[in-house]
Amino acid sequence: MSEVERIDDSRARFSMRVWIPIITRAFAHRNAVAGLIGGGVVVAGIETVLPLLVGRIVDEARAGSEASLLPLLLLYLTLFVVFAVGVWVFILGAGIVATRTADQLRRDCFAKLQSLEPAYFDVRPTGWLVSRLTSDCSKVAGILPWCILDFAWCSAILIGVIGTMFLTDARLAIWALAAVPVMILVSAIFQRYLVRSGREARRVSSAMTAAYGEMLLGARTTKTLVREEANLAEFAQLSSEMNFWAMRSAVLSSVYLPLIASIAAFGAALILWQGASEVLTKEGITLGTLIAFMQFAALFAQPVQELAQRFADILNASSAAERIASLLATQAKIGDSATVRAPTHDELRINALRFEGVSFWYREGVPILENFSLCASRGKTIALVGSTGGGKSTIVSLATRFYEPRTGRITLDGVDYRDRPLAWLTEQIGIVPQVAHLFAGTLRENIRYGRLEASDHDIENAARRVRAHEFIVALEHGYETQVGEGGERLSTGQRQLVALARAVLRDPQILVMDEATSSIDTATERLVQAGVDEVLKGRIAFVVAHRLSTIRRADVILVIERGAIVEQGTHRDLLAQRGRYFELYTNQYAADKERALLHLTDAKAEATVASLVGDESE
Amino acid sequence: MEGLRSIWKLARGEHASFGLAVVALIVAALLLYIALLVPQSVFDTVLGDSAAASDISRTIVGWMGGTDAVSHALWIPALLMVVITGFSGVAIHLKTRLAAGSAERIARRTRDRMYDHVQRLPCSTLDQLPSGDLLQRCTSDIESMRVFLTSQAPEIGRAVLMLLMPLPIMAMLDWRMAIASVVCVPAMLAYTAINFKKMGPSFAAKEAAEAAMTANVTENLTGIRTVRAFGRGAYEETRFAASSAAFREADAHLFRLFARFWSISDLMCFTQQIIVVGLGAYLFANGRLELGAYFYFLTVVAMFIWPVRMLGRMVVEAGKALAAIARLDEILAKAQERDLDPDAAHAKPLTNTREGLAISFRNVSFAHRGGPLVLDDVSFDLAAGQTLGLVGPSGAGKTTIVQLLLRFHEPDAGTITIDGCALSLIPRASIRGVVGTVLQQPFLYSKRLRDNILASARAADAHQRAMESAAAIACVHEALLAFPEGYDTVVGEKGLTLSGGQRQRVAIARALVQAPRLLVLDDALSAVDAQTEATILTALRTNKDTHSLPPSKLIIGHRLSAVMHADLILVLDGGRVIQRGTHEQLVARAGLYQTLWRIQTELVDLASESSDADAAMSDRLTEGSSTAVLEVRDV
């Protein structure tokens, strides 16, 4: 999980590089970006021209020429309408850029995640990845259009205002600009501190949320320990830290904003002082121009503040941008190499899968399998039994190419499976996981997941073969029943039956089943067993077995301990040996019966099994 | 309104500070408008026709030394402008400090209060409130309150003040212009308020679309192995593209609404301005308005009209925040556990000796609010220093006995006495303080292991040695030393997770280090292997020289080896005691206990006889259960 923490902890500095994938996607929407920039420039232009126009109106009114007022007022009105249209256009543009860029980023990240090997997900919590696709994408795409807009708008205003002022009266323009560098400097300094305290506040805020969560989860434990006061004292530290950073932000803003206002007033004062002299000596500008210049001075403050704010936004979002860039740049470690060769017609049928001297470890120096060999052939079921952490799951994960051997190789009729296209290999494999994962949707859709092009008839046939059809048609909506998120509306046993139907529909050559340890009632268990037999028939089958009935029916039982086969044979042979298998079997037997007698819940039953088998995984 | 009353209560002690902030805000706004009058007075008197200038202009120029003086020293009005704006800035700064200071203090106090209040709520209350809901109140509702105090309320106040303050000056300058300056305001307020109310469903639709998309991603990532197993990446991408696009569209729809809102409200603002510019120009051209006043109106309208545009939105948002605040108050109004304790005069705290606890249940019954009986007429006596074992199927009521003993719940009928004193008179902290409890699923705090073991109030200043010896009895000392930073390793950090068995054993050490008078193990060894369990139980029974060994014990377990040495064993089913006695007595009698005993001891031989044993065993078990049922009727 180190990467997860590293990226979150990194004190984000601005780096253009991480924004490149986001910017390229945003600029793909050329018209919208043009609308953004165009709208921004039009609005800025009008904002620049308005003070001049007001100045003209004042001058004309002063001259008492009522007649010339009307066209000016009409122009004024027209400009307002154009302004409003400009606003409308740039918000629409921003909407398109923000939403489409976010959408594109999300889909690209999603597609990237689909291509990555399971090991990638082992070290990254699901919730962490989900926020990459949701909040991070929305965040970076959400600020980008406003940055583009403000960049265009501010540049246009500054160029327009400065240009107009210089054209009107260069001397007064220099006086008017005197305050701008100070404003920029002050903004840059304050934004740095504001970004920092904002970031700290967010950090403390998430720590507080975690503390609240822990308080709720551990409420009973806290009561038994009578540690309410200690808890509160610890929490109060967090909340006072929060208070510190929040106050710091507030005080910084409370200095920053009036300071900018004062600097702007200082600029206006300079114009008043110098401009009024010019008006008085009657050798330069008119009163109307003076008023216009004073309004210009007020115009400077906003673009500077806006730019400072966008700069802060970018800094705040740069860790999100970095996380997205790094996800998009991740290369899948399991995929097709250059030497991949599609199987010929004769090679399509797989007769044997062999582990040849396979070693594997998750962490360097902690081997799970060492020089492990095994041959599985068509039509035979291999049951893997043994302690958790002994390597059973690793063996099936390697067989399905979720992981690849570190050394040694796994072959299909003598050909290293890494030399076969991953997509083809996947088509040949069916997996029935310990906890059946169903997707929100109908039962029919969930079974069809096994083979997308299957007809409704195929689906029902598959369901019949594993005895799932009966329970399905008994439901009110039959195959159209919505299973809910993760299949929550079905019982554990029903979910298992659906997973079995899904595997049968796929009709794979290699089948891997991680049998559920959780208890289901005896009647369902018998049903599931019938389904299991159907699924295993005629394939190269591996079962990580927990149920006695499955174990007894296997063609070969492998007892796996510490990454090696310690016993091997049929049920009868192994029982007769009175070795490790005998021990496991009898314990399992006791656990099964006890579970039935005490109606233990799933979790407890698992714990019981684990403890009876004598392997607390540590 | 409910929320307003709640916020008034929560703000107790800060009212004066808020009042001062309002004063500062008024001063700041006044100064800002006065600062604007300075150039206006210069335009009027010095640059314009001083005879026609308004009284205000003349007064202000008078402060600066009169028209002549100013015309020769134009830096004076310039400086005055900067100084007044500066003072206004100081006032704004003070206002923010005062208001933010109060608001943040209230937020902090509310956070602390909610934290403490919720952790002290009785279990029965906690059971009724989903923890997701509580978490949301503690986090986003408090945040809503903070935003209300720090931004919405001040913004509304500012906009209203900005609008109201210049009104008298405007009216004094020219009443026609004053009316013209605010003529669009009511329409704008109405438009923004109605608009944001109407946008509510679109916001909700966006949130719903986002939630659906998040659910889609979560489901895909949770099942990523299934997706890979079936090679369904491309299919999933199509599915996701649909939900992502739905969210995109909902969001884009909001953008379109906003585009419409901002451009229309811009037009309204401009209409207001054009009215002022046009009417002013007309009046000015006809000599019925001074230049300075005209300039003043132009500037002031530009200053107050834009905040007004936000006012309608702010009011709608503030309404939502007040609803959140009312929700907080609802939780804070619920009684805490200590409110339910007997008052000090009647309370009888337990003494903190090394004696065991004498426990007596007399005809105790209990049901969760409105539910079926969980305990039904349970009676037993346990002398000080004895061990009680509880056995039975899940849902039999074993844990409920522990919960009643710790006063998590109060019995509906019957009495519980501890050392001869009614439990209801013993303060909760007192009984929990003398009992070392290991719950079914022990919770470890995300702190160092050391802090976890010393977590209880009574163990806070226990020595390193006491901690290590407790850990040794719990058979976890070595395992903890093997962690990267030993006892200083932080639970849950850097992917460090403890196995179920390790968690249970750390929790046992945590209970032992309190040197409790009674140790409660509620199925606390379920994830520990049989051998370690035996070692721990033997140590608890025989290790006489350790200071932390509890004199009394209450052990719940489905492995009979855990309870077989108890002085009294109760077999529970459906909330009733169906059998009671010592291990020897129970093994000799037909019933659940005997059946369990057979499974756990004799099965090893049966199993080896091949699958026929299944049938035989099933028969025997059924027999056993029916005997148990018969016994219930006998009791």
**pLDDT value of position A148:** 93
B367 phi, psi to nearest 5 deg: -140, 140
Q: Which of A225, A270, A604 is closest, CB to CB, to B457?
A: A225
A212-216: average pLDDT: 90
Confidence bin at B494 (pLDDT 50/70/90): low
Tell me which chain A residue has its CA closest to the CA of residue B111. A239
A330 phi, psi to nearest 5 deg: -65, 135
Residue A31 above 80 pLDDT? yes
Mutate to test the interface with B, among A214, A226, A606 (most CBs of B within 10 A): A226
Name residues 439-458 of chain B within 8 A of A (Cβ): 439, 442-443, 445-446, 455-458
Name the amino acid, one letter, at B85: T
B610 touches chain A (CB under 8 A): yes
Q: How far apart are CA B144 and CA B150, in angstroms?
A: 10
Asked if the structure places residue B150 within a domain, the reply is no
Q: Which of B233, B285, B523 is closest, CB to CB, to A115?
A: B233
Mutate to test the interface with A, among B68, B104, B139, B554 (most CBs of A within 10 A): B104
Name residues 356-395 of chain B within 8 A of A (Cβ): 392-395
Residue B624 above 50 pLDDT? no
Asked if the structure places residue A337 within a domain, the reply is no
pLDDT digits (tens, 9 = 90+) for B402-439: 999 999 999 999 999 999 999 999 999 999 999 999 98
A598 touches chain B (CB under 8 A): yes
Q: What is the average pLDDT score of chain B?
A: 84
Whether residue A431 and residue B150 make contact (CB cut-off 8 A), yes or no, is: no
CA-wise closest residue to A260 among B570, B554, B89, B226: B89
Our count of domains for chain A comes to 2
Q: Which residues contact A293 (CB under 8 A, 6 or more apart)?
A: A51, A165, A168, A169, A172, A176, A271, A275, A285
Q: How far apart are CA A289 and CA B106, in angstroms?
A: 50
Same domain as A323, residue A357: no
Asked if the structure places residue B430 within a domain, the reply is yes
Q: How far apart are CA A268 and CA A274, in angstroms?
A: 10
Q: Which of A57, A211, A257 is closest, CB to CB, to B281?
A: A57
State whether residue A396 is helix, strand or coil. Answer: helix
Q: How far apart are CA B121 and CA B292, in angstroms?
A: 65
- Residues of chain A contacting residue B90, judged by C-beta atoms under 8 Å apart: 258
CB neighbour class for B348 (10 Å; exposed up to 12, middle 13-18, buried from 19)? middle
- Residues of chain B contacting residue A614, judged by C-beta atoms under 8 Å apart: 529-531
Mutate to test the interface with A, among B25, B42, B82, B408 (most CBs of A within 10 A): B82
Confidence bin at A418 (pLDDT 50/70/90): very high
A119 phi, psi to nearest 5 deg: -60, -30
**pLDDT value of position A409:** 94
CB-CB contact of A147 with A313 (8 Å): yes
Same domain as A362, residue A269: no
Q: Which of B408, B455, B528 is closest, CB to CB, to A616?
A: B528
**pLDDT value of position B381:** 95
Q: What is the CATH number of the domain that holds A514?
A: 3.40.50.300
Whether residue A220 and residue B408 make contact (CB cut-off 8 A), yes or no, is: yes
pLDDT digits (tens, 9 = 90+) for B55-106: 777 788 888 888 788 888 888 888 888 899 899 999 989 988 888 899 999 9
Name residues 385-414 of chain A within 8 A of B (Cβ): 400, 402
B267 touches chain A (CB under 8 A): yes
Tell me which chain B residue has its CA closest to the CA of residue A606. B527
Q: Give the Cβ contact number of residue A306 at 10 Å.
A: 18
Whether residue B526 and residue A129 make contact (CB cut-off 8 A), yes or no, is: no
Least confident of A69-78, A217-226, A494-503, B590-599: B590-599
Q: How far apart are CA B59 and CA B173, in angstroms?
A: 13
A241-247: average pLDDT: 94
Asked if the structure places residue A346 within a domain, the reply is no
Residue A611 above 70 pLDDT? no
Give the minimum alpha-carbon distance from A363 to chain B in angstroms, rounded to a whole number.
14
Q: Which residue has the higher pLDDT, B4 or B258?
A: B258
Q: How far apart are CA B274 and CA B297, in angstroms?
A: 11
A100 touches chain B (CB under 8 A): yes
Final residue of a structural domain among A329, A344, A367: A329
Give the minimum alpha-carbon distance from B319 to chain A in angstroms, rounded to a whole number.
24
Q: Which residues contact B176 (CB under 8 A, 6 or more apart)?
A: B279, B283
Confidence bin at A516 (pLDDT 50/70/90): low
Asked if the structure places residue A409 within a domain, the reply is yes
Asked if the structure places residue B136 within a domain, the reply is no
- Percent of chain B predicted with pLDDT > 90: 34
- Percent of chain A predicted with pLDDT > 70: 90
Whether residue A61 and residue B281 make contact (CB cut-off 8 A), yes or no, is: yes
B307-311: average pLDDT: 82
Least confident of A542-551, A590-599, B244-253: A590-599
Confidence bin at A528 (pLDDT 50/70/90): confident
Asked if the structure places residue A334 within a domain, the reply is no
Residue A291 above 90 pLDDT? no
Residue B107 above 50 pLDDT? yes
pLDDT digits (tens, 9 = 90+) for B441-475: 788 998 899 999 998 887 777 788 888 889 999 99
A558-573: average pLDDT: 86
Q: Which residue has the higher pLDDT, B287 or A594?
A: B287
Residue A231 above 90 pLDDT? yes
**pLDDT value of position B408:** 92
Tell me which chain B residue has its CA closest to the CA of residue A433. B226
CA-wise closest residue to B365 among B552, B575, B185, B553: B575
Q: Which residue has the higher pLDDT, B414 or A525?
A: B414
**pLDDT value of position A2:** 42
**pLDDT value of position B629:** 30
Confidence bin at B635 (pLDDT 50/70/90): very low
Same domain as A29, residue A124: yes
Asked if the structure places residue B515 within a domain, the reply is yes
**pLDDT value of position B377:** 94
Same domain as A592, residue A467: yes
Q: How far apart are CA A551 and CA A566, in angstroms?
A: 16
Same domain as A453, residue A505: yes
Element containing residue A21 per DSSP (H, E): helix A20-27
Asked if the structure places residue B496 within a domain, the reply is yes
Asked if the structure places residue A1 within a domain, the reply is no
Residue B607 above 50 pLDDT? no
The structure tokens 């065991």 sit at B356
Q: Give the Cβ contact number of residue B60 at 10 Å.
A: 23
Tell me which chain A residue has its CA closest to the CA of residue B81. A269
Same domain as A514, residue A420: yes
User: HEC string of A529-585?
Assistant: HHHHHHHHCCCEEEEECCCHHHHHHCCEEEEEECCEEEEEECHHHHHHHCCHHHHHH
A215 touches chain B (CB under 8 A): yes
Confidence bin at A480 (pLDDT 50/70/90): very high
pLDDT digits (tens, 9 = 90+) for A307-333: 888 888 888 888 889 999 999 999 998
**Which CA distances in Å does B568 have to B183, B376, B402, B440?**
87, 19, 16, 21
CB pairs under 8 A between A and B: 451
Whether residue B74 and residue A287 make contact (CB cut-off 8 A), yes or no, is: no
Q: What is the CATH number of the domain that holds B460?
A: 3.40.50.300
A424 touches chain B (CB under 8 A): no
Q: How far apart are CA B564 and CA B559, in angstroms?
A: 9
Q: Which residues contact A472 (CB under 8 A, 6 or more apart)?
A: A443, A463, A478, A479, A481
- Residues of chain B contacting residue A432, judged by C-beta atoms under 8 Å apart: none
A118 touches chain B (CB under 8 A): yes
B166 pairs with which residues across the strands?
none
For residue A419, what is the DSSP state?
G
**pLDDT value of position A521:** 56
Q: Give the Cβ contact number of residue A156 at 10 Å.
A: 20
Name residues 557-596 of chain A within 8 A of B (Cβ): 572, 575, 578, 582, 585-586, 589-590, 593-594, 596
Final residue of a structural domain among A329, A344, A370: A329
Confidence bin at B50 (pLDDT 50/70/90): low
Which residue range(s) make up the domain with B393? 359-588
Asked if the structure places residue B38 within a domain, the reply is no
Residue B240 above 90 pLDDT? yes
CA atoms within 13 A on the CB side of B552: 26
Asked if the structure places residue A274 within a domain, the reply is yes
Which residue range(s) make up the domain with A357? 352-613
Asked if the structure places residue B400 within a domain, the reply is yes
Same domain as A411, residue A306: no
Least confident of A53-67, A173-187, A470-484: A53-67
Our count of domains for chain B comes to 1
Q: What is the CATH number of the domain that holds A200?
A: 1.20.1560.10
Confidence bin at B128 (pLDDT 50/70/90): confident
Inter-axis angle of helices A20-27 and A137-168, to 10 degrees? 70
Confidence bin at A403 (pLDDT 50/70/90): very high
As for the ipTM of the complex, it is 0.85
Give the minimum alpha-carbon distance from B408 to chain A in angstroms, rounded to a whole number.
8
Angle at A465 between CA A460 and CA A468, to 5 degrees: 65
Residue A517 corresponds to which tokens in the numbers above?
């340890």
Give the minimum alpha-carbon distance from A64 to chain B in angstroms, rounded to a whole number.
4
Strands B552-556 and B387-391: parallel
Asked if the structure places residue B132 within a domain, the reply is no
Asked if the structure places residue A189 within a domain, the reply is yes
